Amino acid sequence: MKKYFTIVITLCSFWSWSQEIHPCGQVRAMGDFFKRHPEERAAAAAARMQLEEYTRSFSQNRGGGMTIYTIPVVFHIVHNNGTENIDNSQIYDAVNILNRDFRLQNADTMSIVDAFDQLAADIGIEFRLATKDPNGNCTNGITRTVSDLTYIGDDQVKDLIMWPRNKYLNVWVCQSANGAAGYTNLPENVAGVWGAGNDGIMMRSDYIGSIGTSSTSRSRTLTHEVGHWLNLMHTWGDSNEPGLASNCDMDDGVDDTPNTIGWTTCSLTGATCGNVVDNVQNYMEYSYCSRMFTQGQAVRMRAALTSSVAQRNQLITASNLLNTGVTNPTLCDVNFSSQKVVVCVGDSVGFVDLSYNVPTQWNWNFGDGNTLSGNTPGVHQNPYHTYTAPGVYNVALTASNTTGSMTETKNALITVYEPGSLSLPIWDGFEESQINSARWTRWNEQGDEGLVVSANAAYTGNQSLYLQNVSADVSGTRDAIISAPFSFSNEDTAYVSFKWAWANRTDNTNDVLRVSASGNCGETWTVLRTKQGVSNLPTAPDNNGNFIPTGTDQWDADVITITNAAYFNDQFQLKFEFTGKGGNNLYIDDINVYGPEGMSVLETAHSLDIHAYPNPSEETMKIELSGWASGNCQMQLTDASGRLVWQGNKTSQLGSDNITEIPHHAAGVYLLQVNNEHFRATKRIIFK
């Protein structure tokens, strides 16, 4: 006699290279819920009896014949701007695998053992990403929500975003899935009042698809979870602990899956519970070599999908497929991105079509007089284009299918520089009304204003670079400025100095400022400095309002020493990139790039110099400022790593003897930076 149980089934670890079974949390969570809401037990028991009776009747009627059922799906990516914010391509790959497995189109069916080869079933169920949201608006079937709950991945996530379960199969993708690779509920357990807000599948982001952050070995976790969602138990029955002898006394409710203790290794000749051989290759095992569902499992899943329990049967109606855009999808959004926005002459740029739904023809205009048109996805959908002349270029895409065409133009998308466009030294205090396009290109993910020149605050002069980051709606965005390529060909050491101002909120936000360098015109980048959160980014007291630095004491400075030989060519670039995570405004000023003897000048009305003697020195070194305008000079000495080792002040008088002394330091090369209201200069000095 078959035995049926009401507990929620979860997959705690599935197809991991380490073959580690992660602890399951959902069974305990469901038990706790029933303790708090005992009235739901009766609803679950009634739903179980109803669904089992329906399944028996459905089986007698040959499981719905050959009808192919289609389920609209939406993936909710809940992330905090980490690796869990997986690319759309990983979602598309997961859907392809799901359809392949449920239609028995997986090539590895060739290796199913003889005892079960003839039982392998085409389930006759397909999955399609929705193209209309619950309000009838265009969608690609993927949503993205920023939340720290991604690190937990429990049922709280479902309160952030959920589409009606009678219209969509909801799949949440998080960094964690409450200690599991994935988990879901049997239909009977979400049939009550509470269940409608908890129905769906929770997945870890690195168990989605076979590409990106996932792998082939993990790619069938979702297949397993959909099996649970369609009323399949594990092959060893109602337990999350395979390998126990007591599992022989359980059953999964399917006639052609023999009772088993359950497998966590791929033992194809494994036999337990008196069997000749177990169905080790079943998707509802933990064997890491799953290949199949059985004919009996197909009937059970098709019965669950056509039953009214948990409203599964409403998903597959013709009206719902039309309302969710699964049938007759229309082209409703044209968009694209570029892999780079700043390149050197002769470099190519990759473009990625983000249009939906299902464009079949692409028309590209790259802005330099060249176009590309056609209907071959591998050639025309995501093309590469080489720019042969410097300039700033607009790029446009017209995408079309049988329902119509749409065009998207991105103005000033690609900036092309000549290698070696900039010579040392440069200083940028952002005193011009806009970012100097000969030096910097502005970029951001969201296409809004991003980094701008502002008179709100400055360390020197009247203006600085400013990013409005105080609003919660900009959380998770990235903004950057990328320099034109420098000519470092005649140098062996260079320095990058800059000043910034930022204040934390009292709830300890985690904004990040990164300074990166490239020695190959932006083909690859290396992070040189990271200023993050509460550790080393704040320059002023916590501020829950609209942070504006009130004086130079609310700024900080850094000097980066560059000695990597890979950068000393005519393709060196800098990138200042800020990732906002709900923090506060950022200000950047006085970006200096210079060589050992270089200097950058705010004004050039006077000839100025720094004289150091003796240099090298075995004792105190004298510093004489020549040609400096009257005013207080700030002096900073940094070692080869950029660490501040000495600082002082000297009041200079134009035409007067402006001499100060630096005490002796450990043997090595140092950089002395002097600046006042009018000038900025640097000098390399050596102590023996």
The predicted-structure confidence for 266-313, as pLDDT tens digits, reads as follows 999 999 999 999 999 999 998 889 999 999 999 999 999 999 999 999
User: pLDDT averaged over the chain?
Assistant: 87
Cis bond upstream, residue 329 (ω within 30): no
Can you give the pLDDT at residue 508? 63
Write out the CATH class of domain 426-594.
mainly beta
pLDDT for the residue 673: 81
Q: Do domains 341-417 and 609-687 have the same CATH topology?
A: yes
Three-state SS for 246? Answer: helix
**Cα-atom radius of gyration of the chain, to the nearest Å?**
32
Write down the domain spans for the chain.
10-16+44-323, 341-417, 426-594, 609-687
Nearest 5°: phi and psi at 40?
-75, -20
Residues 341-417: name the CATH superfamily. Answer: Immunoglobulins (2.60.40.10)
Helix, strand, coil content of the chain in percent (nearest 5): 20, 30, 50
Per-residue pLDDT tens over the stretch 27-45: 555 665 667 678 878 888 9
Please count the other Cβ atoms lying within 10 Å of the Cβ belonging to residue 573: 25
Q: In CATH, which superfamily holds the domain spanning 10-16+44-323?
A: Collagenase (Catalytic Domain) (3.40.390.10)
Neighbours of 400 (CB within 10 A): 18
Q: Please give the C-alpha separations between residue 657 and each of 239, 613, 620, in angstroms, as whole numbers.
A: 87, 15, 18
Distances (CA, A) of 351 to 59, 381, 394, 576, 626: 51, 8, 13, 23, 53
Q: In what order do the strands lie in the sheet with 342-344?
A: 342-344, 404-417, 391-401, 361-365, 371-374
Q: Which residues are catalytic?
A: 225
pLDDT, tens digit, for every residue of 586-638? 999 999 888 876 544 433 333 456 778 898 899 999 888 765 555 677 888 88
The contacts of residue 57 (CB under 8 Å, 6+ apart) are none
Average pLDDT over residues 110-128: 96
Asked whether the beta carbons of 437 and 512 are under 8 A apart, the reply is: no
The 3-state DSSP class for residue 102 equals helix
Residue 386: name the closest of 410, 373, 370, 408 by CA.
370
| Range of lowest pLDDT (128-137, 394-403, 473-482) | 473-482
Q: How far apart are CA 407 and CA 363, in angstroms?
A: 9
Enter the tokens of residue 283.
């998707």
Q: What is the domain class of 609-687 according to CATH?
A: mainly beta
> What is this structure's pTM?
0.73
Q: What's the pLDDT at 33?
A: 60
Cα gap 9→237, rounded to integer Å: 10
Q: What is the pLDDT of residue 595?
A: 81
Residue 24 per-residue DSSP state: P
Q: How confident is the model at residue 21 (pLDDT cuts 50, 70, 90)?
A: very low
- 250 token code pair: 């359980």
Count CB atoms within 10 A of the CB of residue 661.
12
Instruction: Indicate the pLDDT class of residue 644, thresholds 50, 70 and 90.
Output: confident
**Mean pLDDT for the stretch of residues 675-687:** 73
